[in-house]
Chain A
Amino acid sequence: MEYAFVLEKLILVTVIFLITLGIAAYSTLAERKIAGFIQGRVGPHRAGPWGMFQPLADGGKMFFKEEIIPAESNRFLFIAGPSLALLTASIGSAVIPWGRALTIGGRTIELQVTDINVGLLYIFGVVSLGVYGIMIGGWASNNKYSLMGAIRAASQNISYEIAMGLSIIALLMVTGTLSLKGIAAQQDGFWADGWFTWNVFKQPLSFLIFIVCAFAECNRTPFDLPESENELVAGYHTEYSGFKLGAFLFAEYINMFVSSAVMSTLYFGGYNFPFMHDLGLSENVVAILGVLALFAKIFFFIFFFMWIRWTIPRFRYDQLMNLGWKTLIPLAIANIVITGIWMTVKDLI
């Protein structure tokens, strides 16, 4: 029994890890394709049909490039930076519920690696660790421009984490639990008791603040100041080359996938989809359809990240700080107050 449990979790972890890497790799292709489509081009199309092997070619290129470690840099930290970025990006997916429980041969299999009761806090902890990868990378380069880039990145991430955390508090007041499994289970179906069950319809302002902060946390346009490919020439990873640079860039795409999964789970019902109980299907089929529904939502959010990237220009640094501190944080606090008043009034009536 115990061995079966370990095996089950091991398979689940491996599958999720491979899916995460696969989606992150193909996000790079999707990004270039979508960029092409929006700009009236076709994107990469030479490597295999529709450029399907482009991520492999890019990865191979990263491996074969010369790896340079600056002479006066701290060797250990220089390697630790990108490793940490990749690691923290990957472990965020551990608490996301990928679907309802499957029942195979009388055995219930949870499609979630672990259901810890502070799942949401865990995600926040892991995401804020991601800053260390950037900061260590920038520091270890022994280059003042890298350090400046790292400081910009760190101050941006820290500023937007506050607004993100505050926006989540309003959501927690509605859900009453930090467990992602519990939050997903509460959003069962689509419609119940005369209102939508999905949290985005209960907390639209919270979702808006959360998605803006998620963009900032993932260093995506319009908040891609840490990298600013065209004028900063790559900020904190100026000194990086070869696969260590690849690790930084790859971590960004994994972050994008994980935060899409978190947004889908928190606000868009996770694995729930409309009329899931009215189709007369068995529990296992509903569970598998739920997994597909969750991935459809995740893909939509990944597309949305890219769509935004090719629509909105970058913020100036002062605008970024103004938006974070003077707009999003007060808005999030106001949202908490309004939610509190609404809940009290609703109980009174």
Chain B
Amino acid sequence: MSFSERIYLPSILKGLAITFKHIFKKRETIFYPEQERPVSENWRGLHSLKRDEKGRERCTACGLCALACPAEAITMVAAERKKGEEGLYREEKYAAVYEINMLRCIFCGLCEEACPKEAIYLDGPIVEADYLRKDFIFGKDKLVEAPLKS
């Protein structure tokens, strides 16, 4: 090493100049809850259970999504459609209980691919933080799309 390298001071000054310049550079911070970063088109977030064009739930509780799920995050209980419920469910069978454990889910999107009825899509926002494990099991109240406005 040359003398100037051995006394370190020139390189320390150079380093100080670089860090000083960074003080005035643009901040990269995104103020998260108020401001969200843009996501790409194939972004996978919170699941939503879709309705068809008449506002009926598309899911028929076939269980293919639960079978496809590598994290075993999905559970469901099927039920038969009663008379008079034709406006609520599209097929004769529907999911009475449909739960996804968000702590198990890895957001791979395989449920979306497995679904023959185009009933589930991962098109929601980031799943929010919470305090208790039980609050991460999302039921139909959180997953099903809002009903159509008539």
A interface vs B, CB < 8 Å? 34, 36-42, 307-308, 310-312
Contact = CB atoms under 8 A, between A and B. Distances in A.
Nearest to B22: A38
B26 interface: yes
Contact of A39 (B12, B16, B20, B22): B22
Task: Give the 3 A-B CB pairs with smallest separation, nearest first.
Answer: A37-B23, A311-B19, A311-B15
Given A37-B22, A38-B22, A40-B22, A311 B16 contact: yes
Contact of B28 (A34, A40, A310): A40
A40 B16 contact: no
Contact of A307 (B16, B27, B28, B29): B16
B25 interface: yes
B104 to A, nearest CB: 31
Given A311-B15, A311-B16, A312-B15, A42 B23 contact: no
B15 A42 contact: no
A42 B29 contact: yes
Interface string B23-51: 10111110000000000000000000000
Contacts of A34: 23
Contacts of A37: 22-23, 27
A310 B19 contact: yes
B27 A40 contact: yes
Given A41-B27, A42-B29, A307 B20 contact: yes
B38 to A, nearest CB: 19
25 contacts: A34-B23, A37-B27, A38-B22, A39-B22, A40-B22, A40-B25, A40-B27, A40-B28, A40-B29, A41-B27, A41-B28, A41-B29, A42-B29, A307-B16, A307-B19, A307-B20, A308-B16, A310-B19, A311-B12, A311-B15, A311-B16, A311-B18, A311-B19, A312-B12, A312-B15
Given A38-B22, A39-B22, A310-B19, 14 more contacts: A36-B27, A37-B22, A37-B23, A38-B19, A38-B23, A40-B22, A40-B25, A40-B27, A41-B28, A42-B27, A307-B19, A307-B20, A311-B15, A312-B12
A311 B14 CA distance: 10
Contacts of B22: 37-40
A41 to B, nearest CB: 5
Give chain B's interface secondary structure class: helix
Contacts of A311: 12, 15-16, 18-19
Contacts of B12: 311-312
Contacts of B20: 307
A215 to B, nearest CB: 12
A320 to B, nearest CB: 13
Contacts of B28: 40-41
Contacts of A312: 12, 15
B19 A40 contact: no
A40 B16 CA distance: 15
Contacts of B23: 34, 37-38
A300 to B, nearest CB: 13
A36 B19 CA distance: 11
A314 to B, nearest CB: 14
Nearest to B15: A311
A315 to B, nearest CB: 10
Contacts of B18: 311
Contacts of A308: 16
A38 B28 CA distance: 11
Nearest to B27: A42
Nearest to A313: B15
B27 to A, nearest CB: 5
B73 to A, nearest CB: 33
Contacts of B29: 40-42
A313 to B, nearest CB: 10
